[in-house]
Amino acid sequence: MKLASFLLALALSFPAAAQDYPTKTVHIIASAAGGLTDLLPRTLAAKMQEKTGQPWIVEQKLGAGGVIGAEYVMKSPPDGYTLFVGFTGVFSVLPALGAKLPFDVNRDFQPIILMATVPNILVVNPSVPANSVRELIELAKSKPGKLTYASQGVGSSGHITGEQFKQAAGVDILHVPYKGAGPAIQDLLGGQVDMLFDVVPLALANIRGGKVRALGVATKQRVAVLPDVPTLGEAGVPGMEGGAWFALYAPAGTPAPVVEFINREANRIFSEGDIRNRLEAQGVALPLGTPEDLRSFVQQRTETWARVARLAGIKLEP
């Protein structure tokens, strides 16, 4: 009887504690300085602090492509006071490439919300004689192995999207990996390489300035900031979806009411007109939704990229 009473009291204590959440500082761990990995949680933290009256702090734990930060959160108490900004590389690309990680994304983390996605966009140097995806495919088929596409590095979303494009279109285009987006973009502008699967926010200025030509976006719908650029599916290459994504996670076992509270407030915050308009003007999409939406999204992306990587023979650099 005493044991039954104790278990009942323990079960009832979780919703009660969750209703009081938070009662102390909440830490959001980010694994990259600058960019959306930093901007999104800071936007969320400022609004959540206003809402709850408790401090919400964004902390940087850099290293190992996000693995260090993720492992730190995974080992933290599952009470909602330590959260993680999960993103493409650490939660999709590394698992897709079979990396040995100190955690399992599905087992060790509780998804909360998919905050943002940034689609890849196929851009070419203006000297490339192709004004559409179909013309580019015809050009590539007439010159097998002669055209080149840059990527931000082996295993980057631009690399995997490039290989997916080659597989779907049936073309042979030479991959030229760089160490980061900056040098890849510079060589594209200089004409050392022919094309690049860039991300929309980085590509916008060069597209509008006529420095590159945009042929298609790797997403289901056109992006609002570039309404005249077709999706790759519209352009004749179906099934193309690629780019970066950013989400919020907690350690596995975090009480459901806490997860529901953070999810509800994050949906509200990122739906506010000024925040949504500012991000969408940069080419950022805000899918939001439920924890299960996030879980399904990541699973689908990871499975697709694992298949592409396997067919392309992409392996992690030692």
pLDDT tens per residue across all 318 residues of the chain = 444 443 444 444 444 455 689 999 999 999 987 789 999 999 999 999 999 999 999 999 999 989 999 999 999 999 999 999 999 999 999 999 999 999 999 999 999 999 999 999 999 999 999 999 999 999 999 999 999 999 999 999 999 999 999 999 999 999 999 999 999 999 999 999 999 999 999 999 999 999 999 999 999 999 999 999 999 999 999 999 989 999 999 999 999 999 999 999 999 999 999 999 999 999 999 999 999 999 999 999 999 999 999 999 998 765
Q: Cα 31 from chain centroid?
A: 13
User: Where along the chain do its domains lie?
Assistant: 2-116+244-312, 119-217
* DSSP symbols for 298-316: HHHHHHHHHHHHHHHT---
Q: Residue 252 in contact with residue 110, Cβ under 8 Å?
A: yes
Smallest CA-to-CA distance from 117 within 240, 241, 277, 264 is with 241
Instruction: Note the pLDDT of residue 6.
Output: 37
Instruction: Note the pLDDT of residue 20.
Output: 87
Q: Residue 229 in contact with residue 216, Cβ under 8 Å?
A: yes
Instruction: Note the pLDDT of residue 65.
Output: 87
Q: How far apart are CA 185 and CA 190, in angstroms?
A: 9
Instruction: Note the pLDDT of residue 32.
Output: 82
Instruction: Say if residue 22 is preceded by a cis peptide, omega within 30 of 0.
Output: yes
The three-state secondary structure class of 114 is strand
CATH architecture for segment(s) 119-217: 3-Layer(aba) Sandwich (3.40)
* Environment class of 33 (CB within 10 Å of its CB; exposed 0-12, middle 13-18, buried 19+): exposed
CATH architecture for segment(s) 2-116+244-312: 3-Layer(aba) Sandwich (3.40)
Instruction: Note the pLDDT of residue 317.
Output: 67
Do 2-116+244-312 and 119-217 come out as alike in CATH topology? yes
* DSSP symbols for 2-55: HHHHHHHHHHHHHHHHHHH--SS-EEEEESSSSSHHHHHHHHHHHHHHHHHSS-
